Amino acid sequence: MPVQLERRIRLPPDARSAGRARRMVQGALEELDPDREADLADTTILLASELCENAVLHAGTEFEVTVTITEDEVTVAVADRGAGPLELHLAQPRQRYGRAATHGRGLTLVQRLSTAWGTRHDNDGRHAVWFSMARRPRVDRAVPLEPVADTDRVFAAAEQARWLLHVPPGLADRLEPLELVGELSRRLRELLGADLVSVEVDEADGTGPAELVRDGDERPGRAGAPASPAMEVRLPMTAPLRGTLRVLASDIGDERTRDLVELTANRVAMAVEARWLRAVDQRRRAWMTYLAETSELLGQSLDVELAVAVVPQVVVPRLGRWCAVHLVDPTHQLRLAALTHADEDQLPELRAVLDPAASPGLPRELAQRLAGLVRDGSAPVRFAAPTDGIALALRARGTTIGTLIVGRPPDRPHTPEDIMMAGDVARRAALSIHNAQSTAAHVDVSQALQQALLPRALPVVPGVEFAAEYLSASSGSDVGGDFYDVLTVDPTHWHVAIGDVCGKGARAAARTGLVRDVLRVLVRDGRALPRAVELLNDVMMEAEDPLQFCTLAAAMVSRSRPGTAGLDVELLLAGHVQPVLVRADGTASLVGRFGTAVGLVPRMRLECTTHHLDRGDVFLAYTDGVTERRRGREQFGPDRLLEVAAKAAGRSAKQVVAAVREAVERFSAEPLDDDVALLAIRAAR
């Protein structure tokens, strides 16, 4: 492709060289075709500036800028004689401050905005970076091809304003706000011939003012004084942002200079605010995601220990380097419930300081602040020992249940945004822990109620063995309806009952207690077993709750007549599964005749059967959780129960119960889906 125009300039490694290269590129583009799109010219000048500044910053040698224009594209190459390829320079770690804080940005811009780019390393030691920009179809007209010497561009007043304000929309949309601020700063420095243009902004995040852009450098004069006076213009931004545009130039007192600086400050302020608002929006989105994930994690368990353990894990390292949770115990003292640190090696030392039960215990200042939080539930407080941090009250439903302590991040104090997020986490954590504590208390009450429905101890009688086990399908707050009971009526008679009340929970527990206690009273009054069950049915029917019926196996066990070994069993089944009679000779059979469940209909059909236990025989009663135990579609069933019981023949009552329980548990690996009650009576002599 024929070359229409070519320009070349050699420049020293000086901060002002980039400006001369920009003017040379701009002049070449305008000379060839001033009607071309401004986007092409501005993008080309911007990328050339970045490459020149990289050469000044990282090569430290003179460099050469070449502009080559053809019909289809504009190519700019920057060659230097640095110690190594430019890519290696950019990859080396450097102190990040001022302009150098964004080093390496040039190649990123080149890659993003140019049509093509690359590097070239010549044998003579030169290292060049080049890029090309595609041009629009040309307009037919005469084009001068002769080279033009490098001269400084002289701007008219209107051109100066336009040059400062007008960045083509196509280019502005592709530039990050900070890159746009850098371009505006370079343009201002070129127009004013300034030594330095810098932008400093304080975002009120606790880190203080930060220099976002620095174009040029300060040239100290004699006795260390700056060679040029300084002008500082406040950036017109909304709170909490504060910033200044600083210019070092020789004609700083000129009214035209101040107008141009203020004009640039307004445009810079808009770009800085746009950058800040974008960062705020990104942080808020990140915080929303973080809080949503925190809520999900905290809501996954109603176990107190697990709920407490999750809290420090979601706090560290997002909000601080370490975190501790203290809970108020029943004596109204704080105890360390959970602790984590970003560096696990620091945990033992930190635990010794934060555990009130350890030595030396909480620092005095921290202990006083935590006591104030527990007492008043006040706003977050800061502390300085063992390290800087914040402490917040864990309050749920108007009660302070503990405190959350968060150590400061490693490189800064907690910002107001950090404290707000920590407060939100504390509220969610407090509610999660309080719910877990309430559930734990409810479970304790339910389990205590379940145990209260069972006999505290079975009778110990010479010649008679009693054994029982209860397997609950739930260790939580659901109280099962299965029960068993053994009551000593007199030295030779024992009332034995096992049953299953329909349903679970408090209603089933209340009905279970009713069945057991009413039956006990009726049997103690000397009523026959069938009559006692009929009266129990009348009591159940008065509740008018057909869903709360009960299956019951009731028996009266008595010693045989004097001179006769063994036990006699009078058995009545009210809708309950048949018990197993295990003979000492190794046979087992189901006994009893089915009757009507208790509390189901007003008039019951009941039939008593009598059975004799010889020495070594076992009477085994159980609930349907045994035979209805499932493994897929298969049930444990009565046949398997008889087989297991027969194999346990000749053993003690306790061993027979244990054998059946083990067989039921081994039958399926799935958790129990129904309660299991087992009760065995053995004639020992």
Between 143 and 489, the more confident residue is: 489
Among 125, 130, 128, 129, which Cα is nearest to 83's? 125
Instruction: Measure the CA–CA gap between 41 and 21, rounded to whole angstroms.
Output: 13
Query: With 70 as the cut, is the pLDDT of residue 169 above it?
Result: no
Element (DSSP H or E) covering residue 278: helix 255-298
Q: Using an 8 Å Cβ cutoff, are 588 and 618 in contact?
A: no
Band the pLDDT of 221: cuts 50, 70, 90. very low
Query: For a pLDDT cut of 90, what percent of the chain falls above it?
Result: 41
Query: Average pLDDT of 372-380?
Result: 86
Q: Using an 8 Å Cβ cutoff, are 340 and 313 in contact?
A: yes
Among 316, 359, 361, 304, which Cα is nearest to 334's? 361
Band the pLDDT of 94: cuts 50, 70, 90. very low
Strand order in the sheet with 676-683: 464-471, 676-683, 618-622, 580-582, 588-590
The contacts of residue 20 (CB under 8 Å, 6+ apart) are 9, 11, 150, 152
Between 137 and 472, the more confident residue is: 472
Q: Using an 8 Å Cβ cutoff, are 83 and 20 in contact?
A: no
Band the pLDDT of 415: cuts 50, 70, 90. confident
Residue 629: φ, ψ to 5°:
-60, 130
State both tokens at 654.
């306790």
pLDDT (tens digit per residue) in 482-520: 899 999 999 999 999 999 998 777 778 888 888 999 999
Between 146 and 113, the more confident residue is: 113
Beta strands in 519-637 (DSSP E): 550-559, 567-574, 580-582, 588-590, 608-613, 618-622, 630-631, 634-635
Q: Using an 8 Å Cβ cutoff, are 628 and 638 in contact?
A: no
The helix/strand/coil state of 605 is coil
Band the pLDDT of 100: cuts 50, 70, 90. very low
Helix axes 416-452, 255-298, angle to 10 degrees: 10
Most confident of 33-42, 74-83, 244-253, 611-620: 611-620
Among 426, 437, 405, 429, which Cα is nearest to 297's? 429
Instruction: Measure the CA–CA gap between 454 and 110, rounded to whole angstroms.
Output: 81
**Torsion angle of C-alpha atoms 513, 517, 520, 522, degrees rounded to 10:** -120
Instruction: Measure the CA–CA gap between 322 and 286, rounded to whole angstroms.
Output: 21
State both tokens at 563.
């001179």
pLDDT given at position 215: 85
Give the single-character DSSP code of 356: T
Other CB atoms within a 10 A radius of the CB of residue 676 amount to 23
Upper half-sphere CA count for residue 524 (Cβ side, 13 Å) = 9
Query: Average pLDDT of 371-386?
Result: 87
Considering only 56-65, 290-299, 345-354, 584-593, which range has the smallest mean pLDDT? 56-65
pTM: 0.58
Beta strands in 435-481 (DSSP E): 464-471
Whether the link from the prior residue into 13 is cis, omega within 30° of 0, is no
Query: With 70 as the cut, is the pLDDT of residue 471 above it?
Result: yes
pLDDT given at position 142: 42
Between 97 and 678, the more confident residue is: 678
pLDDT given at position 101: 42
Q: Give me the helices (H) in 33-79, please.
A: 38-54
The helix/strand/coil state of 644 is helix
Instruction: Measure the CA–CA gap between 681 and 497, rounded to whole angstroms.
Output: 12
Between 123 and 11, the more confident residue is: 11
User: What are the residues facing 630 on neighbouring strands?
Assistant: 635
Between 249 and 484, the more confident residue is: 484
Other CB atoms within a 10 A radius of the CB of residue 28 amount to 22
Among 526, 533, 662, which Cα is nearest to 603's? 533
pLDDT given at position 168: 65
Among 263, 258, 235, 236, which Cα is nearest to 247's? 258
pLDDT given at position 208: 81
Among 559, 581, 551, 560, which Cα is nearest to 653's? 581
Q: Using an 8 Å Cβ cutoff, are 567 and 683 in contact?
A: yes
Between 151 and 628, the more confident residue is: 628
Query: Average pLDDT of 383-397?
Result: 91
User: Which CA distances in Å does 657 have to 308, 511, 622?
Assistant: 40, 26, 10
Q: Using an 8 Å Cβ cutoff, are 545 and 580 in contact?
A: no
pLDDT (tens digit per residue) in 356-375: 988 788 888 899 889 899 98
Query: Average pLDDT of 406-419?
Result: 88
Tokens 């290696």 -> residue:
88
Element (DSSP H or E) covering residue 230: strand 230-234
Tokens 């548990």 -> residue:
665
Start-to-end Cα distance in the chain? 118
Query: Average pLDDT of 95-113?
Result: 58
Upper half-sphere CA count for residue 490 (Cβ side, 13 Å) = 7
Query: With 60 as the cut, is the pLDDT of residue 404 above it?
Result: yes
Query: Average pLDDT of 564-571?
Result: 90
Upper half-sphere CA count for residue 110 (Cβ side, 13 Å) = 23
pLDDT given at position 140: 45
Among 58, 104, 110, which Cα is nearest to 84's? 58
Among 47, 84, 53, which Cα is nearest to 67's? 47
pLDDT given at position 87: 46
Band the pLDDT of 453: cuts 50, 70, 90. confident
Query: With 70 as the cut, is the pLDDT of residue 479 above it?
Result: yes
The helix/strand/coil state of 276 is helix
Query: Average pLDDT of 77-101?
Result: 54
Query: With 70 as the cut, is the pLDDT of residue 97 above it?
Result: no
Band the pLDDT of 38: cuts 50, 70, 90. low
Beta strand 493-501 with 580-582 is unpaired
Considering only 36-45, 359-368, 647-656, which range has the smallest mean pLDDT? 36-45
**How confident is the prediction for the chain on average, in pLDDT?**
84
Instruction: Measure the CA–CA gap between 203 and 88, rounded to whole angstroms.
Output: 34
Query: With 80 as the cut, is the pLDDT of residue 267 above it?
Result: yes
The helix/strand/coil state of 285 is helix
Q: Checking phi first, is residue 566 left (phi over 0); if not, alpha (psi -120 to 50) or beta?
A: left
Q: Using an 8 Å Cβ cutoff, are 359 and 365 in contact?
A: no
pLDDT given at position 16: 75
Instruction: Measure the CA–CA gap between 215 and 457, rounded to whole angstroms.
Output: 89
Q: Using an 8 Å Cβ cutoff, are 404 and 385 in contact?
A: no
CA 163 to chain centre: 49
The helix/strand/coil state of 480 is coil
pLDDT (tens digit per residue) in 302-342: 888 999 999 999 999 989 999 999 999 988 899 999 999 99
State both tokens at 138.
């040309």
Q: Checking phi first, is residue 242 left (phi over 0); if not, alpha (psi -120 to 50) or beta?
A: beta
Query: With 70 as the cut, is the pLDDT of residue 466 above it?
Result: yes
Q: Using an 8 Å Cβ cutoff, are 408 and 206 in contact?
A: no
Residue 646: φ, ψ to 5°:
-65, -40
Query: Average pLDDT of 608-637?
Result: 94
**Max Cα distance, the chain (Å):** 139
Query: For a pLDDT cut of 70, what percent of the chain falls above it?
Result: 87
Between 405 and 153, the more confident residue is: 405
pLDDT given at position 102: 43
Q: Using an 8 Å Cβ cutoff, are 298 and 432 in contact?
A: yes
Band the pLDDT of 223: cuts 50, 70, 90. very low
Band the pLDDT of 71: cuts 50, 70, 90. confident
Other CB atoms within a 10 A radius of the CB of residue 627 amount to 17
